[in-house]
Amino acid sequence: MSPEASAKGTVPFGEYRTWYRVTGELGAGRPAVVAVHGGPGSTHDYLLPLARLAEDGWPVVHYDQLGNGGSTHLPGREPEFWTVELFEDELANLIERLGIADDYVLFGQSWGGPLCARHAMTAPPGLRGLVVANAPASYPMWLEEMARLRAALPPEVDDTLRRHEAAGTYDSEEYLAAMRVFYDRHVCRVTPWPRDFLSSFMEIYNDPTVYYAMNGPNEFHVIGSLKDWSIVGDLHRIRTPTLVISGRHDEATPAVVQPYHDEIPGARWEIFEESSHLPHLEEPERFRAVLTDFLKCL
């Protein structure tokens, strides 16, 4: 079980509200670790195990990005509204509103990785460290790797996926069953799926506005506005101590993650051999050791 929150609430973000929770005490000596979830259009729930860092003295901030979870929902908002810049502004706003801009670390998972990388490129003086976990640096590269991973699925699975993608029947039982084969291999190898992951998974589809607009119907059929987006070639601007994390069986394959290691000066890369997209859930003890070792060096 993750430790109880010490505070929960919302901060104004323009005319909207961003929901957050704090575990531990902000400003008590160690930088706040800000957990930035993926999707976009997911929620903080699957990253809740990071709250245990507070037991070692690092306060942890979780938040739900605009559009999902406890933050303002905007169903039916035009797809063009949902931009990378919007979520960059929301993250910067949250950091300022919580008073942690002088001393914080970013933990960006999946889509949260490039979002945090973009934030780090602005060289905020109070950013002490950056963790890029299971993250794409280029969506075109992501899609190339998705095609390779799908080709390695049992032949009838990819055939089923293609047939329903051509028909647009993403909510058919047959498509969802085939999708699960991919997810059990490359998203979460723990069965049954942990409750925290299930919570975020269901939240995505309870209000798919953001996920569908920017990503698409699932992790491997990325047809949203991010499908051509890349930060490859810009990552060299980051001067923050950086830890890169991925899983050996991760949908964020080594090829997808490689630019973070190649371009960010001094970046250290840890690959979790028994994990896919969620090492913090698939190898929790090793994950905690790797992360706390990194944080102790900041």
Ligand X SMILES: N=C(O)[C@@H]1CCCN1
Known catalytic residues are: 110, 250, 277
- Residue 219 interacts with ligand X (CB under 6 A)? yes
What residues from 24 to 63 belong to the interface with ligand X (CB under 6 A)?
A: 38-39
- Residue 68 interacts with ligand X (CB under 6 A)? no
Cβ at position 215, least distance to ligand X in Å: 5
CB 269 within 8 A of CB 244: yes
Give CA–CA dist 41/39, Å, rounded: 5
Please identify, using beta-carbon distances, which residue of 54 and 188 lies nearer to ligand X.
188
Residues 6+ apart with CB under 8 A from 103: 27, 31, 32, 126, 128
Q: How many chain residues bind ligand X (CB under 6 A)?
A: 9
- Residue 107 interacts with ligand X (CB under 6 A)? no
Which range of residues in 69-77, 93-101, 215-223, 262-270 is near ligand X by CB under 6 A?
A: 215-223
Build a one-symbol-per-residue string for 163-202: x at contacts with ligand X by CB under 6 A, - elsewhere.
Answer: ----------------------------------------
Edge-to-edge strand list for the sheet holding 32-36: 7-13, 16-23, 60-64, 32-36, 104-109, 127-133, 242-247, 268-272
For the chain, the distance separating the N- and C-terminal CA atoms, rounded to the nearest angstrom, is: 27
- Residue 111 interacts with ligand X (CB under 6 A)? yes
269: its two tokens: 């890369």
3-class SS of residue 19? strand
Build a one-symbol-per-residue string for 118-157: x at contacts with ligand X by CB under 6 A, - elsewhere.
Answer: ------------------x-----x---------------
Please state, as a whole number, how many other Cβ atoms lie within 10 Å of the Cβ of residue 124: 16
Question: Which residue of 65, 110, 138, 246 would you call a contact of ligand X, by CB under 6 A?
Answer: 110
Give CA–CA dist 181/196, Å, rounded: 20
Cβ at position 256, least distance to ligand X in Å: 9
Q: Give the footprint of ligand X on this chain (CB under 6 A).
A: 38-39, 110-111, 136, 142, 215, 219, 222
